[in-house]
Amino acid sequence: MARNDFDSWVPEEYGSDVIQRVNLLSAVEANSRRIPMATDTRNEPRSAGVGVASVAKGGTYAEDTSTNDEVVLVARKFGQAIRIAEEDLNDSNVNIVASKQSDWATSYSKFLDNAVLGTTAVANGTTVPFESVFVTASTVTYTTAATGITYDNLSASLGALEEGDYFDLNSTVVIAHPSVRASLRGIKDTQDNPIFVQGLSGTPDTIFGINVSWSLGAKSSATATDSPTGQALVVFVNSDYLMLGVRSGPESMLSDEAGYLTDEPILKMRARRAFALGAPGAASVLSVGDEPV
């Protein structure tokens, strides 16, 4: 005897916990000197320092001729909109808005870090929002992908920062792409001590005793993107000179009512940021690959 088929009567069950990508904190947001901006442009004065010279008894003091200038921060807007059917918002057991806000925050973190650290072209205000650390830093070294990171090229990259006027051990940080971790774990000094130490109980990882922030945006790219595919970067930088202008956000807004003809509210997410490296000598970059993209 054939049984009746009631499959179409049984509702399909969906979980309410959305599986999401890792929610990243931007290494740039976390380590920069944050500068509030009340307008879209802000000029930050930059001192060229003051020299010193010996003065003979009764002699004439030499007058300083250092040229002071300024760094210009121009806010750029990063955003995205999502059109959502009103029925989905009302009927779903998933918090769609919170889920998409989290997804956008992840992409924003990678996009901002890539724009600040790894874009290789001259800034145009759109596809290349800022002059990146890669372009501005006085020293960018390369190592072939086959060779990978070595003690010598890591030491030389850090040394380029240490030799300049902008090195301050207390303010120096390393921002690197996580793909270099495997190479770092195998590098030891002449006393067989690892130069890369993984932090425990909430303490940060360190390279040569300097705190490391990991960023999926720390790769070279011709234009700013949240999924860069160029060479992995290891950036040594005095964080006091990572100048991040904060105009607004991150923030989001859901339209008060759906479109009259479509019943589709729109969720907008955005942030406005500006960036400049305060001095070229305040950073050095190690690029793991033959050439940048």
Using one digit for the tens of pLDDT, what is the confidence trace for 177-199?
A: 999 998 888 888 888 888 888 88
* Alpha carbons 253 and 174: distance in angstroms, whole number: 35
What pLDDT was estimated at residue 158?
93
| Span between the terminal Cα atoms of the chain, in Å | 68
Q: Is the pLDDT of residue 78 over 60?
A: yes
Using one digit for the tens of pLDDT, what is the confidence trace for 141-183?
A: 888 877 778 888 899 999 999 998 889 999 999 999 999 998 8
Determine if the peptide bond prior to 11 is cis (ω within 30°).
no
What pLDDT was estimated at residue 100?
86
Q: Is the pLDDT of residue 7 over 90?
A: no
> Is 250:26 a contact under the CB 8 Å cutoff?
no
* Alpha carbons 150 and 189: distance in angstroms, whole number: 10
pLDDT tier at 39, thresholds 50, 70, 90: very high
Mean pLDDT of the chain: 85
> Is 231:114 a contact under the CB 8 Å cutoff?
no
What pLDDT was estimated at residue 29?
92
Torsion of CA 224, 225, 227, 230, to 10 degrees: -20
Using one digit for the tens of pLDDT, what is the confidence trace for 245-262?
A: 999 888 888 887 777 677
Burial pattern 33-43, b for ≥16 Cβ within 10 A else e, equals: eebebeeeebe
Give the mean model confidence (pLDDT) for residues 114-127: 94
What pLDDT was estimated at residue 9?
60
Closest CA to 94 of 152, 14, 161: 14
* Alpha carbons 138 and 242: distance in angstroms, whole number: 14
What pLDDT was estimated at residue 127?
94
What pLDDT was estimated at residue 131?
93
Q: Is the pLDDT of residue 65 over 60?
A: yes
pLDDT tier at 51, thresholds 50, 70, 90: confident
Q: Is the pLDDT of residue 2 over 70?
A: no
Query: What is the CA angle 81-119-175, rounded to 5?
Result: 95
